[in-house]
Amino acid sequence: MTFFAPASITAFFSPHISGSYSETGSTGLGITLEAGVFAKVSEKKGIRLNSKSFTFPTIELLLEKLGVTEAKIELVSQIPVGYGFGFSGASCLAAAFALNTHFDLKKGYFELADIVHECEVRSRTGLGDVVCQTQGGIVLRKTPGCPSKAVIEKYFSESEINFLILGSISTSDILGDEEIVEKIRKYGAMALKKFQVNPDFYNIFSISKDFAVQTGLMDEEILEIIGEIERMGYRASMVMLGKVIFTDCPLKILKDYGDVFSSKISQFGVRRA
């Protein structure tokens, strides 16, 4: 049985660290994508990504949490790895549901999602991705925490988003700088309130851009390219946390700047493929 979990991007966020994994997470806004990760399980041992052996501590922790000692997990990713598309959360979520079915573990939907959230937090690979990838759509996380506890609002959109991939950003370096984290908390909370006043899809770009500029996460290269995109009449901002621009600018224009990727917004979370 193959399961699929959607990728997700974060437009703005505010981290919240607690003594409990179920209460640790982030508030903010995430967008799930139709592109994502497929996972299939068999009796052999090992983890493979796109037919190649892959070291994946988050999934190794998942196996431990589920009490599975031997399993072969085949992952097929439609998204770039390591650029802010929630690859770790999507992979772990799809794998959890595939393992649950294959080994007849009899765990429920949110029970599995909460376990994956814990694995993400403990591995420092994500704080809010799994909440979005469990729900699908555009997800506003009003309170932090695991999927069963986070208070959210969900919005639907059939829009397509285009991406310009310029490079990666070290999440651990950013979240390890307390001065930057305090700015993220402050401006993330402001962005959350601002979006709630007018929760329109196109407002996401401007609110996200303001957040990225105010926190200092957006560098000069990204700011300059976004300025050029805006002067052409399109909207754009930066994916958190990746040196990636998300925009409604056509791919044929973006290709002049670098590698590109495109996906529609997913209306659904993790599911059977």
pLDDT at residue 21 tops 90: yes
What are the tens digits of pLDDT across the range 72-81? Answer: 999 999 999 9
φ/ψ (deg, to 5) at 84: 95, 20
What are the tens digits of pLDDT across the range 150-174? Answer: 999 999 999 999 999 999 887 777 7
pLDDT at residue 175 tops 80: no
Q: What is the pTM of this model?
A: 0.95
Q: Which residues does residue 6 pair with via DSSP β-bridges, in sequence order?
A: 36
Q: Which residues does residue 39 pair with via DSSP β-bridges, in sequence order?
A: 3, 75
- Helices 109-123 & 57-66 angle (0-180, nearest 10): 140
- What residues does each domain of the chain span? 1-273
Token look-up 């984290």 returns 181
Residues 6+ apart with CB under 8 A from 156: 137, 138, 267
Q: Report yes or no: 14 and 31 within 8 Å, Cβ to Cβ.
A: no
Q: Which residues does residue 33 pair with via DSSP β-bridges, in sequence order?
A: 265
Instruction: Judge if the upstream peptide bond of residue 254 is cis by omega within 30 degrees of 0.
Output: no
| pLDDT, mean of residues 202-230 | 97
| Euclidean distance between CA atoms 270 and 126, whole angstroms | 17
Instruction: Give me the helices (H) in the chain, please.
Output: 57-66, 87-102, 109-123, 129-135, 171-175, 178-197, 203-215, 220-231, 251-254
Three-state DSSP class for 57?
A: helix
Evaluate the CA torsion angle 39, 42, 48, 50 in order and state its sign. negative
What are the tens digits of pLDDT across the range 37-90? Answer: 999 999 889 999 999 999 999 999 999 999 999 999 999 999 999 899 999 999
Architecture, CATH, for domain 1-273: 2-Layer Sandwich (3.30)
